[in-house]
């Protein structure tokens, strides 16, 4: 814990961590907010799944593209432009009944213009701290990210149930604009310039650690999203138990992130952490009782933040600085798509076989998320004796002296 305390005392770390967390908070809210709002509007989880699918397609296209654009136009212009368009699109879905096709089209635009906050902040981190502090910073960030993916749906569920689904979406917009503005005005953005990448779009995915982190991140967040949908479906739109269970899920992840996330990262690290998530999720499906779900999901949560910390570190250590934004763009795209796809798959199974279907989906996704790093161990960097800093863009040149 002392390493985290010293990190927060480092100039700018607490500010940029808080700003990016606030700006990215809507990313953990929108999938469930749209799920609840569209289901309430059309009385069908299946239709809600279609809108979420449109959102995820837009996100899939946007992630690496807008990340690369930050190396061409700069971080502030790209983030500001996408933030405004995305906020308008999301607000339109909340306020104007447009029909299924129009809702899907606007959701696609919202996904396409999701501000690239995550790639920006991941690129800034190595320039703010020394090499020994970078892995603990990724761990601290991963713990904070769980507030986004786990606590975000708790807030969304509470507001949507107690006040209305429209207000659940509008709250996400408020976080998007307010947090995005705070992040844009942070001086750290002006101190770091992302170099223009010399490689073609997508080439960075040829780096096995980047591809590994992208796939596992997708599966992990998809499992979380399915769990969230299952919890809400289990206890109904008026059940306060849903908020309690999701809060315990979040606490488990925070505990895991702070206690395990700073440990040395060996080649088995990601598989071990995903195994914890799978075991907790699998046994959760056995009994949809509030206390059983709270206990088993607390266990599952313990592996989430440490797994994310590993993903961030192996990506950073495997690419050049000019490619970090795009690399994290792909990882972020995987996670954002996972949130939408997990909710959509869970929604269809809830319609088909009931609430337990969401937990079956979550367990299956978590199991695949364990198998991928297990079978891909040789692609996992061993960082026990090295730091996670990006590779330099320039290499030493040998000279000949007379």
pLDDT in tens, 65-91: 888 888 888 889 999 999 999 999 999
The answer, yes or no, to whether residue 398 has pLDDT greater than 70, is no
Write out the CATH class of domain 16-379.
Answer: mainly alpha
In this prediction, residue 320 has a pLDDT band, given cuts at 50, 70 and 90, of confident
Q: What angle do CA 184, 322, 131 make, to 5 degrees?
A: 85
- 3-class state of residue 128 by DSSP: coil
- Across 43-72, average pLDDT: 83
From the CB of residue 132, how many other CB atoms can be counted at a distance below 10 Å? 10
What's residue 364's pLDDT? 96
Question: In degrees rounded to 5, what are phi and psi of residue 391?
Answer: -70, 145
Q: Burial level of 219, CB count in 10 A (0-12/13-18/19+)?
A: buried
Provide the whole-model pTM.
0.78
- 3-class state of residue 98 by DSSP: coil
The answer, yes or no, to whether residue 92 has pLDDT greater than 60, is yes
What's residue 392's pLDDT? 61
The answer, yes or no, to whether residue 292 has pLDDT greater than 90, is yes
What's residue 81's pLDDT? 95
What's residue 397's pLDDT? 35
Spell out the residues 6+ positions from residue 5 whose beta carbon is closer than 8 angstroms to its own.
none
Q: What is the pLDDT of residues 351-390, one digit of tens each?
A: 888 889 999 999 999 999 999 999 988 888 887 777 666 6
- Across 229-236, average pLDDT: 85
Q: List the single range of 209-218, 280-289, 303-312, 314-323 with lowest mean pLDDT.
A: 314-323
The answer, yes or no, to whether residue 395 has pLDDT greater than 50, is no
Q: What is the pLDDT of residues 134-170, one digit of tens each?
A: 777 877 887 777 677 667 877 887 888 888 889 999 9
Q: What is the mean pLDDT of the chain?
A: 85
The answer, yes or no, to whether residue 340 has pLDDT greater than 80, is no
The answer, yes or no, to whether residue 318 has pLDDT greater than 70, is yes
What's residue 201's pLDDT? 78
What's residue 1's pLDDT? 59
Q: What is the pLDDT of residues 14-27, one digit of tens each?
A: 889 899 999 988 87
Percentage of the chain exceeding pLDDT 70 = 93
**If you write DSSP's letter for every residue of 224-243 in order, what string do you get?**
HHHHHHHHHHHH-TT-THHH
What's residue 400's pLDDT? 40
Do the beta carbons of residue 285 and residue 359 sit within 8 Å? yes
Q: Burial level of 92, CB count in 10 A (0-12/13-18/19+)?
A: middle
How big is the chain, counted in residues?
402
**Greater model confidence, 320 or 399:** 320
**How far is the C-alpha of 257 from the C-alpha of 140, rounded, in Å?**
7
Query: Which of 88-92, 247-251, 333-337 is most confident?
Result: 88-92
What's residue 5's pLDDT? 76
Q: What is the pLDDT of residues 117-135, one digit of tens each?
A: 888 888 888 888 776 777 7
What's residue 2's pLDDT? 63
| H-assigned helices in 96-203 | 100-112, 117-124, 131-146, 152-162, 165-184, 188-191
């Amino acid at each position: 814990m002392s390493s985290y305390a010293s990190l927060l005392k480092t100039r700018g770390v607490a500010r940029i961590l808080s700003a990016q967390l606030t700006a990215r908070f809507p990313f953990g809210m929108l999938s469930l907010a749209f799920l609840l709002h569209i289901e309430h509007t059309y009385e069908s989880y299946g239709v809600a799944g279609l809108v979420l699918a449109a959102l995820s397609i837009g996100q899939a296209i946007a992630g690496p593209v807008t990340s690369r654009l930050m190396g061409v136009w700069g971080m502030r212009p790209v983030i500001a432009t996408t933030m405004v368009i995305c906020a308008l699109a999301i607000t339109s879905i909340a306020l104007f009944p447009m029909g299924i096709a129009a809702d899907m089209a606007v959701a696609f635009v919202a996904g396409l213009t999701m501000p690239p906050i995550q790639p920006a902040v991941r690129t800034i981190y190595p320039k703010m701290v020394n090499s020994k502090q970078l892995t603990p910073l990724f761990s601290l960030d991963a713990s904070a990210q769980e507030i986004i993916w786990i606590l975000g749906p708790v807030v969304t569920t509470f507001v949507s149930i107690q006040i209305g689904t429209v207000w659940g979406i509008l709250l996400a917009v408020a976080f998007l604009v307010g947090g995005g503005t705070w992040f844009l005005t942070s001086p750290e953005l002006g101190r770091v310039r992302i170099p223009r990448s010399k490689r073609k779009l997508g080439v960075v995915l040829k780096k096995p650690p980047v591809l590994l982190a992208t796939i596992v991140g997708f599966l992990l967040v998809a499992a979380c999203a399915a769990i969230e949908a299952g919890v809400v479906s289990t206890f109904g739109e008026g059940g306060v138990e849903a908020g309690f269970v999701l809060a315990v899920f979040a606490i488990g992840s925070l505990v895991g992130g702070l206690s395990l996330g700073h440990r040395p990262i060996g080649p088995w690290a990601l598989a071990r952490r995903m195994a914890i998530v799978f075991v907790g999720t699998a046994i959760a499906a056995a009994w949809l009782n509030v206390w059983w779900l709270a206990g088993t999901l607390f266990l599952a949560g313990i592996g989430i933040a440490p797994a994310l910390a590993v993903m961030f570190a192996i990506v950073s250590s495997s690419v050049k600085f000019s490619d970090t934004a795009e690399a994290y763009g792909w990882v972020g795209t995987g996670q954002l798509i996972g949130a939408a796809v997990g909710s959509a798959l869970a929604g269809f199974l809830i319609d088909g076989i009931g609430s337990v279907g969401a937990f079956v989906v979550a367990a299956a996704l978590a199991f695949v998320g364990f198998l991928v790093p297990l079978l891909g161990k040789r692609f996992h960097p061993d960082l026990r004796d090295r730091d996670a800093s990006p590779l330099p863009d320039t290499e030493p040149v040998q000279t000949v002296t007379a």
